[in-house]
Structure 1
Amino acid sequence: MKTSSYEELFQKVRIHFLFHHPFLSVLALSIPTVFTTNAKSAFETNGSALEVDLQKLDRYSEDELTYLYAHALLHIVLKHPYRQKTRELKLWNQSCDIVINNIMATFSDVGAMPEDETFDETLKDKCVEEVYEILFKEQEEENQGSSEEKEDNEAKVTSDEKGKLQAHIYDESKQDIQEVADEKTSSGEQEKLNGIIIQALSIAQKNTTQYAGMLVEIDTLVKPEISFYDVLKEYLVTSAFEKETTFSKPNKRFAHMGLYLPGTKKKQEQLEVVVALDSSSSVTMEEYKKFLGVIAEVCAGFYEYKIEVLPFDVDVKKELIVSFDSFASLDTIDFHIPKSDGGTNFDAVLRYLKTTEIRSDDLLLVLSDGEFEISEHLVCQTLFVINEKKNMRKFEQFGRVIEFSI
């Protein structure tokens, strides 16, 4: 088929999106489409543009091309190229394809999914980071198995006990995400792209029935990215230096009128923070130092502060506990936390704190990947700082939760 014929086809598809999937129409009209030669797939994207290889389109029907066009646009709207970070490209691409194909399975009038697409209903309603972690663990287990086991796994296309299809076969020629670094996109281009994505997502959110499968991914993106420093500072200011009403300090504003109304004073003059660092998680030593560095920088803005650092895994590592304050800075202490291969028991931290003189209005900051449960009662105000997005929601019932990303 000639290029002009394909351009007519894409024009037809865009009109189809306009009537059946307006948010895809916004993307199709706003995202640059370039006809070129791709290394792998018929449709590829670097996150800001869509590259189409005309030579690779002949193998698909018109309905399949409609599907693949929408599939590639979803990679862009969900920022899959930029969310890869240091993850392995092929496995990341496979994870993204599984997420998108599960989402598109809930759509109507979006073409037909080609038979060579990877699909797994058992991973439905999971964000791409969760899917990647599951596939990564499966890959490690398969690599440790025998060659016969690997062949069996590669040929596996089965249904689970609920009848859901599960297929982890993945052809490298289907890789439609190009490996990029976020820094390669200029701030102006990124701002423009964000505007397009926000516009498209706002349209999708208005129809939560049809696009229910996208809600997990949409929720990942629409929350604004706020500086961890700013969030921590706001939290410390509002939590640790909350004021209380007292008659011991009358309100001078109305004293000249003979009215003696209560004034306010700080609940505590010294900022006291306990930092629980999970040494069994995926948090690196470099992240530990950045985390504590931000805390120290924020606390330096207060008159007096005291920070106690509790490394923990299945138990609190009492021999590694260190403290720093407004008189002895973080730079002056010998700080080292050896990584452990054990599990994570946050309840051990809570039990330990109950044996100390911690007060309910003190602050507990917890840095972890969130791979733990809580059965003990919290002892004070708690801020969970989680570096795995998939685990953030589970702690919202216990306290404030923010993502650790510097």
Structure 2
Amino acid sequence: MAKPKSRELDPATKAYSEGLQYICKHPMFAPLAYHARFVRQEGNLCPEKGWAVTTSHGHIHVHPKRRGLPEEWIYILAHGLLHLGFGHFRAVERQDLWNAACDSFIAKFLYDMKLGQPPAEMDGRVEIAAKSEEELYRSFMERGLPASFHNLGTAGHGFQDMILNPRSSGPSYWNNTDVNWQDCLGKGLTLAVTSAVNVTAGYEEYLGANPDVLTPAMKARNWFISSYPLMGAMAADFKIIEDPALCNRLSISVAAVDAEAKEIYMNPAAGLDEQECRFVLAHEFLHVGLRHHARAEGRDPYLWNVACDYVINQWLMEMGLGAFPRIGGLHDPDMKGLSAESIYDRIVTDMRLYRKVATFRGVGLGDILPPRVPDWWDRNDGLTLDEFYRNCLSQGLDYHYEQNRGLLPAGLVEEIRALSQPPILWDVELAKWFDHYFSPVEKVRTYSRISRRQSSTPDIPRPRWVPDSGDEDGRTFGVVLDTSGSMDTKLLGKALGAIASYSMSRDVPLVRVIFCDAAIYDQGYLAPEVIADRVSVKGRGGTILQPAIDLLEHAEDFPKSGPLLIITDGDCDRLRIHREHAFLIPKGQHLPFVPKGKVFRMD
């Protein structure tokens, strides 16, 4: 006996079945779909050129022969269920305008939700200013129905897709008049939020995704989201890319982070287990959260990356977070407790050695990928994203302590707290430097210069308050101004203006000024008022600052206790300075040597 041929579904039925199956599995629409009844048979209430209509009994009548994509049926069925869930079935004066108002709100809701695909003849995108269906209905009653709101329903042009109190076409138990549809929608919203959290944490697959086995990197990421609040927000926002071909093309041996694209690259060929992936992911999260991508400020990018790696790896080992990778990483117990800036100043003294060490990306390559646009972090998008990263760590730190997740290294806590505070402006720091060296001049009473006599007692001489004689002796400092061609003229003007202003406010009578490029131009002592007025800058050649510093340190007419203020763009050799000093350099630049004084980076 011949075997009967298996009946295959026709394309129209197959697409409809796939869309219905998706809606029944969707956590938001599952409670509504469970109580609704879908009618797809000849002679139902759907118009000939429509897709579907919904009745107040909880029935959705679907066109039995309409061909469409599964995404289109998802949109149509969700539209009908939302009519029930939003409680749109009510008797009003103009039923057609009320139906149009409800269709408009559902179309806006589904467009924002990005669910399904509206058919070609339906307008899926609509802009509405009303806050509710009732407000939009009143607007239609007063002004009429605009043309852009005509094709938003699922019943086709000229028909309403909501049928109020239709005649029963079957047994009474088919009429779901006792169902609380709004309550079903509320349960669906709760399930949708729960499902979103579970998908993010890795407890369930995203609806429509292929169920694959989670990799160690994904398990580690899910662990941060569910169990480690300090970096949970960072983990939820970053995408893990595990493509060995892409990693090889980018020369990533283990891992690297792209803070601009919010992506972390993990090379599966490294063979890390879950504990090692936790360590590496935490390493990359801290790179981004602590703004290492923006704190280089003119330093060598690779050596700065190396310095940050030493700090982060030491913290992670103290925290016991994951396992130090077997393939290696940067760790030196002698650098424990040092900041990244201090470690950088140490390793630049032996660049030949430290250029041979390997980050998680490889030898000579930093695992902080550079931005595609050099000044991206100074633009609006970059500033917004940078603020988001800082907030992730600062809020995560609060949650970490609230949930008693364990002690953290003091240096890490200090850096996170510092990120939540606005940075001190360079001119404020410069003012503090002036306050340290030039305290207010003491004033004394003297009768040698009698003040004006009071009219009530003209015979009584009264003393006057004057600065104490001799207090201004030695009250000066030296300024070495780099006038090479690489110096920005705006920077020179801004620096000299600040110096003149602070000198006058702190009663500094004279300032020793030296211009220096390839030669020395000694300007002698200048009053702050002269500096603030106009100074003719000489030079604009090369950069050799050491002769000017030697001249000031050995000048007989310059006090031995007078500090030095050096204004340069950093394009100079190592300097030998034996007295108190400070540097004024442009923001984003860095000195190629290790200064012992303060460094103020100007905006």
Shorter-normalised TM-score: what interval? 0.5 to 0.7
Highest relative contact order (Cα 8 Å, sep 6+), 1 or 2? 1
1:102 Cα offset (Å): 2.6
Partner in structure 2 of residue 244 of structure 1: 442
1:68 Cα offset (Å): 1.1
Please point out which of 262, 274, 279 is paired with 1:62: 274
- Comparing 233-242 and 286-295, the one that deviates more: 233-242
Q: 1:359 to 1:99 in 2, by over 3 A?
A: closer
Q: 1:345 to 1:130 in 2, by over 3 A?
A: farther
List alignment gaps of at least 5 residues for structure 2: 1-210
Residue 394 of structure 2 is aligned to residue 189 of structure 1: no
CA contact (8 A) 2:255 2:266 kept: no
Please point out which of 2, 6, 12 is paired with 2:223: 12
| Counterpart secondary structure, 1:105 | helix
1:191 Cα offset (Å): 3.2
Q: 1:216 to 1:363 in 2, by over 3 A?
A: same
1:79 Cα offset (Å): 1.3
Q: 1:193 to 1:171 in 2, by over 3 A?
A: closer
Please point out which of 535, 543, 555 is paired with 1:339: 543
Partner in structure 1 of residue 478 of structure 2: 275
Whole-angstrom CA distance in 2 between matches of 1:172 and 1:320: 49
Q: 1:56 to 1:78 in 2, by over 3 A?
A: same
Residue 601 of structure 2 is aligned to residue 404 of structure 1: yes
Residue 528 of structure 2 is aligned to residue 322 of structure 1: no
Whole-angstrom CA distance in 2 between matches of 1:386 and 1:204: 39
- Give the letter for the 2:272 counterpart: Y
| Counterpart secondary structure, 2:324 | coil
Partner in structure 2 of residue 97 of structure 1: 309
- Give the letter for the 2:287 counterpart: H
CA contact (8 A) 1:102 1:124 kept: yes
| Counterpart secondary structure, 1:65 | helix
Partner in structure 2 of residue 309 of structure 1: 513
| Counterpart secondary structure, 1:81 | coil
Q: 1:210 to 1:7 in 2, by over 3 A?
A: closer
1:132 Cα offset (Å): 4.5
- Comparing 231-240 and 89-98, the one that deviates more: 231-240
- Give the letter for the 1:403 counterpart: F
Whole-angstrom CA distance in 2 between matches of 1:278 and 1:208: 51
Please point out which of 557, 580, 583 is paired with 1:356: 557
Q: 1:241 to 1:261 in 2, by over 3 A?
A: farther
Whole-angstrom CA distance in 2 between matches of 1:187 and 1:14: 25
1:63 Cα offset (Å): 0.4
CA contact (8 A) 1:102 1:213 kept: no
CA contact (8 A) 2:225 2:235 kept: yes
Q: 1:295 to 1:12 in 2, by over 3 A?
A: closer
1:172 Cα offset (Å): 4.1
Partner in structure 1 of residue 23 of structure 2: none
| Counterpart secondary structure, 2:512 | strand
Residue 328 of structure 2 is aligned to residue 112 of structure 1: no
Partner in structure 1 of residue 231 of structure 2: 24
CA contact (8 A) 2:516 2:539 kept: no
Decide which structure has greater strand share. Answer: 1
Whole-angstrom CA distance in 1 between matches of 2:455 and 2:397: 55
- How many residues are aligned here? 354
1:12 Cα offset (Å): 2.3
Residue 501 of structure 2 is aligned to residue 297 of structure 1: no
Whole-angstrom CA distance in 1 between matches of 2:408 and 2:344: 25
Q: 1:319 to 1:84 in 2, by over 3 A?
A: closer
RMSD over aligned CA atoms reads 5.5
- Give the letter for the 2:424 counterpart: I
1:350 Cα offset (Å): 4.3
Q: 1:80 to 1:209 in 2, by over 3 A?
A: same
1:247 Cα offset (Å): 2.8
- Give the letter for the 2:543 counterpart: K
Partner in structure 2 of residue 79 of structure 1: 291
Please point out which of 34, 44, 67 is paired with 2:239: 34
1:73 Cα offset (Å): 1.2
1:347 Cα offset (Å): 8.3
Residue 367 of structure 2 is aligned to residue 176 of structure 1: yes
- Give the letter for the 2:212 counterpart: K
CA contact (8 A) 1:64 1:112 kept: yes
1:307 Cα offset (Å): 3.6
1:356 Cα offset (Å): 1.4
1:339 Cα offset (Å): 3.1
Whole-angstrom CA distance in 2 between matches of 1:208 and 1:356: 60
1:177 Cα offset (Å): 0.9
Deviations 1:337-381 (A, max 9, x none): 7534x97997874443xx216597x87534588977876xx6xxx
Within a 5 Å distance, the mapping from 1:211-250 to structure 2 comes to: 211-212=409-410, 214=412, 224-232=422-430, 242=440, 244-248=442-446
Deviations 1:255-297 (A, max 9, x none): 999xx99886667999975334397xxx976458666422322
Q: 1:170 to 1:255 in 2, by over 3 A?
A: farther
CA contact (8 A) 1:243 1:265 kept: no
1:186 Cα offset (Å): 3.8
- Comparing 171-180 and 263-272, the one that deviates more: 263-272
Residue 212 of structure 2 is aligned to residue 2 of structure 1: yes
| Counterpart secondary structure, 2:271 | coil
Whole-angstrom CA distance in 1 between matches of 2:450 and 2:328: 72
Partner in structure 2 of residue 149 of structure 1: none
CA contact (8 A) 2:565 2:581 kept: yes
| Counterpart secondary structure, 2:293 | helix
1:236 Cα offset (Å): 5.2
Q: 1:243 to 1:209 in 2, by over 3 A?
A: farther
Deviations 1:305-350 (A, max 9, x none): 754224799xxx995322555347554242457534x979978744
- Give the letter for the 1:225 counterpart: P
- Give the letter for the 1:404 counterpart: R
| Counterpart secondary structure, 2:367 | coil
Larger Rg: 2
Q: 1:64 to 1:7 in 2, by over 3 A?
A: closer
Q: 1:128 to 1:291 in 2, by over 3 A?
A: same
Whole-angstrom CA distance in 2 between matches of 1:385 and 1:251: 44
Whole-angstrom CA distance in 1 between matches of 2:550 and 2:312: 37
Residue 573 of structure 2 is aligned to residue 365 of structure 1: no
1:62 Cα offset (Å): 0.7
- Comparing 33-42 and 176-185, the one that deviates more: 33-42
Deviations 1:135-188 (A, max 9, x none): 55545479xxxxxxxxxx96xxxxxxxxxxxxx245745843110342244433
1:214 Cα offset (Å): 3.8
